[in-house]
Amino acid sequence: MKAIRNQYLFAIALLAAMVFTSTLARAADPLPSWNDGPAKQSIVTFVEKVTTPGSPDFVPVPERIATFDNDGTLWSEKPLPVQVYFALDRVKTLAPQHPEWKTKEPFASILKGDPKGLMAGGERGLVEMIMATHTGNTTVEFEQIVKDWIATAKHPKTGKLYTEMVYQPMLEVLAYLRANGFKTFIVSGGGIEFMRPWAEQVYGIPPEQVVGSSVKTKFELRDGTPVLVRLPELNFNDDKGGKPVGINEHIGRRPVMAFGNSDGDLQMLQWTAAGTGARFALYVHHDDAAREYVYDREDALARLNKGLDEAAAKCWTVVSMKNDWKTIFPVEKK
Amino acid sequence: MKAIRNQYLFAIALLAAMVFTSTLARAADPLPSWNDGPAKQSIVTFVEKVTTPGSPDFVPVPERIATFDNDGTLWSEKPLPVQVYFALDRVKTLAPQHPEWKTKEPFASILKGDPKGLMAGGERGLVEMIMATHTGNTTVEFEQIVKDWIATAKHPKTGKLYTEMVYQPMLEVLAYLRANGFKTFIVSGGGIEFMRPWAEQVYGIPPEQVVGSSVKTKFELRDGTPVLVRLPELNFNDDKGGKPVGINEHIGRRPVMAFGNSDGDLQMLQWTAAGTGARFALYVHHDDAAREYVYDREDALARLNKGLDEAAAKCWTVVSMKNDWKTIFPVEKK
């Protein structure tokens, strides 16, 4: 009898320890870099209501899909988007093979150290530069080029690695959602093959959960070895109305939560918010001149104008980087 | 002291129970519908070597990607692929809205109950029928149409639901791989939106792990409600060289294992097998006239000719449905 009673006591102690640990886990703040306020509260309240069994808003685990824009939502996109710096560096690397670039725009301006000449050429010059610097190689070669570049390239203002210019509060949101059964996806206008080589390490987002713009590729056998060749032809532009298209094509489910920072994300947020049941849409608003950048309604590359109006009208969460975030970037590891 | 000793005994009993259960799990045959033989052995040997820590062939969990063709690999594709029956039924459903079909091929033949007229029109007739029957609606509408059809449509020969014409031995492979940390993907020439509505229930494969052919879609606001409209224009043909392209676009990693049954899968198997480290490629060979169908080198729609030669040359696994599979279809639930 005593043995049985002791077993009971032991089992009860085990249970108590489990309950206590679980309570502790709940009590720990999952978003420590967020100031208390309506933005933080809206995230936590939403996650709790869709993950609490029996809640009228409960969402089963397989349907817990959250999509995140990348540039300006997960990492800094100023003075220029990171991928533009990558392309500018590629122009310099490839210049010896392209003597004609000395007199051809936008390459001539770039090689003279005047990247503003690039912007003068508008979107067409940008696309021309992307095609010239991102294609003609195999997918395996391009992946290595990106890995090598991102390992050492530095932000022109802060001197940090670009992968250190990610937003700590958003890293916490990613981890918090995954801990609550969400699958987290990137849905970015940036190149899908530019993000995949580092997104897993930096964001914990595996390649199969990255959606982005792409060029066409072609399968070939080269001396019996299969390769995918990157062609200078746009395959998919994952921006604006393209974001719901890309979400449907890659994920095949409507997100439950979506996070963006510009009008290029508006259709993704609309598509998400229009689903049946509880949905969550959030804009990151760049209003912190001291710690990052300030831009919204008038910005040329990452305008947030219609989106701000629609967020107000539909009561979406708008994050003030200045007021809602205790820190912007991860604290440097010593 | 006695209490402490009892706790020890209890803990040891717990541990012993755990070890025993785990041994039982290992001892249980993960592929009970497979006859013992080289095909079954090749699968088990491969999975054990890539999942055993310390093995020179060990593959970390995030890289454990397995891709499966659908038609003829996971379910029956004879006399015609299931999606063709879906399209034929759609022609009949939509006919009242298309009086011109009475005299226009391939629709006229189909409406006269002569689907062979469709095949006489070759691939062009097939594509025309697919476009006419699969587009013009929204993605949400199309999903419901597929769900309604697949819930009741029956195979012309067996009278079974099509979702009962899946291969039991392959269901076991899917479950076995997932139990060993693999992510299982469909990579099919079939329509991505035709497979997603039922693939999760039937195969345990969620929508975001289905890759297939697709039509273009367009984002629109209809009275303020966002919709994705399905356009009568091919977006992607996920067959032959398109399979590695689709794998790269959707998954962004090279599979470790790939499973197919026709020359349309050859490039997927080549792409998989050419990766560094241990890789596995398998062909299902339809050689069972009594229990399913017999077809390979001469088949019009699902030829397996070059693939058989390459499998022999490269020592890929070739499954004889007749000899390697104890049962073909799941036993009916009473």
CATH superfamily of A32-78+162-324: HAD superfamily/HAD-like (3.40.50.1000)
ipTM rounded to 2 decimals: 0.91
What is the reported pLDDT for B1?
46
What is the reported pLDDT for B126?
85
Give the predicted TM-score (pTM) of the model: 0.91
Kindly report, residue by residue over A276-313, the tens digit of the pLDDT.
Answer: 999 999 999 999 999 999 999 999 999 999 999 999 99
CATH for B31-78+159-324 is 3.40.50.1000
Question: If you average pLDDT over each of A9-18, A23-32, A97-106, A209-218, which comes out highest?
Answer: A209-218
Q: Do A219 and B242 touch (CB under 8 A)?
A: yes
Query: Which chain B residues touch A279 with a CB distance below 8 Å?
Result: none
Provide the H-helix boundaries in chain B: 2-27, 38-51, 82-94, 107-111, 116-120, 122-134, 139-150, 168-179, 192-203, 242-250, 266-273, 306-314, 321-324
Is the per-residue pLDDT at A5 higher than 80?
Answer: no
Angle at the Cα of A209 (from A151 to A329), degrees rounded to 5? 45
Smallest CA-to-CA distance from A162 within A77, A99, A37 is with A77
Q: pLDDT tier at A1 (50, 70, 90 boundaries)?
A: very low
Cα dihedral: B73, A185, A38, B225 (round 10): -60
Query: Which chain B residues touch A3 with a CB distance below 8 Å?
Result: 6, 9
Residue ranges covered by each domain of chain A? 32-78+162-324
What is the reported pLDDT for A202?
98
Chain B closest-CA separation from residue A137 CA (Å): 15
Mean pLDDT by 10 residues, chain B (334 residues): 54 53 65 98 98 97 98 97 96 96 92 80 85 97 98 97 98 98 98 98 98 98 97 97 98 98 98 97 98 96 97 98 98 64
What is the reported pLDDT for B333?
56
Chain B closest-CA separation from residue A248 CA (Å): 9
Q: Do A208 and B10 touch (CB under 8 A)?
A: no
Q: Do B207 and A139 touch (CB under 8 A)?
A: no
Kindly report, residue by residue over A164-223, the tens digit of the pLDDT.
Answer: 999 999 999 999 999 999 999 999 999 999 999 999 999 999 999 999 999 999 999 999
Query: Which chain A residues touch B192 with a CB distance below 8 Å?
Result: 249, 252
Smallest CA-to-CA distance from A320 within A291, A300, A278 is with A291
Residue B332 backbone class (left: φ over 0; alpha: ψ -120 to 50; beta: rest): beta
Q: Do B249 and A207 touch (CB under 8 A)?
A: no
Distance CA B217, CA A241 (A): 10
Chain B closest-CA separation from residue A254 CA (Å): 10
Distance CA B92, CA A103 (A): 62
User: What integer best gives the mean pLDDT of chain A?
Assistant: 92
What is the reported pLDDT for A122?
77
User: CB–CB of B179/B28 below 8 Å?
Assistant: no
User: CB–CB of A67/A257 below 8 Å?
Assistant: yes
Kindly report, residue by residue over A130-158, the tens digit of the pLDDT.
Answer: 999 999 999 999 999 999 999 999 999 99
Smallest CA-to-CA distance from B212 within B82, B109, B19 is with B82
Q: Which amino acid is at B109?
A: S
